Structure 1
Amino acid sequence: MFTGIVEERGEIVAREDLDQAARFSIRGPLVTSDASYGDSIAVNGVCLTVVEHVDGVFTVDVMAETLQRSSLAELAAGAPVNLERAMAADGRFGGHIVQGHVDGVRTVLAISPTPNWTVVRVGLPADLERYVVEKGSITLDGTSLTVSAIGHENDQAWLEVSLIPTTLAETTLGLAQVGTPVNLEVDVIAKYVERLTGAGIARQEKGE
């Protein structure tokens, strides 16, 4: 499990395309400082397993399913990525519950800078819209953020987040442009509540 507090902005060192898979080598001195074989590291919000690491560079294998359902398929050598180690049991819970399981990919629709923060608008898949609420939590490329606004334009749902200078400087969101694909993970608690509530209603209808 992760919290969405990005620890460092790493870089793709190499990519090797395999049969229905890819192997990435990623530079991340901080996240590899105590890494072991089999550890989990979130890369742009995708939970991946360390298969080897040396001199601050770790290697992960990414299967076709993950490539199809995330923006990792777009990455090449030199691309910056957000990195976070799995949360330690005794660590501070600075963000929100993040599983590292991408729910959808949408592009940046607009970027509106102001003197003290920047508003970023991202498309929102229709099947995820019900899980997103204003002032609720959302994960964009592995970064835990607060939804500042939601809405529709031309039958397209969208959400907005307001990024402070630290977030812009320390994560890939500060490098994003209109059209940049972004991994989205909604709050898992909302999905569990929906599932449990639906199951409860179904049982009541059956008289159980």
Structure 2
Amino acid sequence: MFTGIVEEVGEVLAVEHTGEDARLRLRGEVVTQGVRLGDSIAVSGVCLTVTSLGDDATFTADVMPETLRRSTLGTLAPGSRVNLERAVRADGRLDGHLVQGHVDGVGALVSRTPGPRWDDLVLRLPAGLARYVAEKGSIAVSGVSLTVTHVGEDTFGVSLIPTTLAATTLGDLTPGDPVNLEVDVVAKYVERLLGARPTADDEGGRA
């Protein structure tokens, strides 16, 4: 589990395609501190498992075909900048929102409007995701926890403060650039529960 509070912007050093999957080698000075083999690191919002660690603040992670299809990781190349976050500790502070690192789809930046000390962004959503996005709700954009400012039929807006602009890859986005999107998991569970009908076992189990 993650919080969507990016710890640093890392760099992709190598991409090795092994058939339909891939292996990434990345550098992250902060996220490699205290990390062990098998731990999870979110790479631009995608939860990946650390498969090896180097002495030079590097780590490798395998990316399955499903992940390559459903996220922007398939477009990464050496030199690409990525948002990095270690999995949150159970006794840590939850400063963003509950982020699983399971990308729901790839969106794209439609426009950005600079403000006095912030940027207003409008992003396009894949079909079927808009129903999970609510004004003043939370969404993870390439691993960054953001508050939704408005929602359209297939778009939504967010505002980026100076810290977010400087400390994540979102400050580099230009119209048309793709982003990983993860909607609030609570919204998906609520939909699932409201759409479920009680079975005979459910009825019989009630006190």
Alignment TM-score > 0.5, same fold: yes
Give 1:151 shift: 1.2
Identity of aligned residues (%): 59
Equivalent position of 1:49 in the other structure: 49
State the secondary structure of the residue aligned to 1:203: coil
Aligned partner of 1:95: which letter?
G
TM-score by length of 2: 0.94
Aligned partner of 1:130: which letter?
R
**Pick aligned residue for 2:181 from 153, 174, 184:** 184
Give 1:126 shift: 2.4
State the secondary structure of the residue aligned to 1:191: helix
Q: 1:78-97 alignment to 2 at 5 Å?
A: 78-97=79-98
Aligned partner of 2:14: which letter?
A
Equivalent position of 1:168 in the other structure: 165
Please, which runs of 5 or more residues in structure 2 have no aligned partner?
A: none
Equivalent position of 1:140 in the other structure: 141
Give 1:18 shift: 0.9
Aligned partner of 1:139: which letter?
A
Please, which runs of 5 or more residues in structure 1 have no aligned partner?
A: none
Q: 1:58-207 alignment to 2 at 5 Å?
A: 58-152=59-153, 157-199=154-196, 202-203=197-198
TM-score by length of 1: 0.94
CA distance in 1, matches of 2:176, 2:83: 18
Say how many residue pairs are matched.
Answer: 201
State the secondary structure of the residue aligned to 2:158: strand
CA distance in 2, matches of 1:136, 1:52: 36
Aligned partner of 1:28: which letter?
G
Equivalent position of 1:6 in the other structure: 6
Q: Return structure 1 stretches of 4+ with deviation > 6 angstroms.
A: none
Equivalent position of 1:30 in the other structure: 30
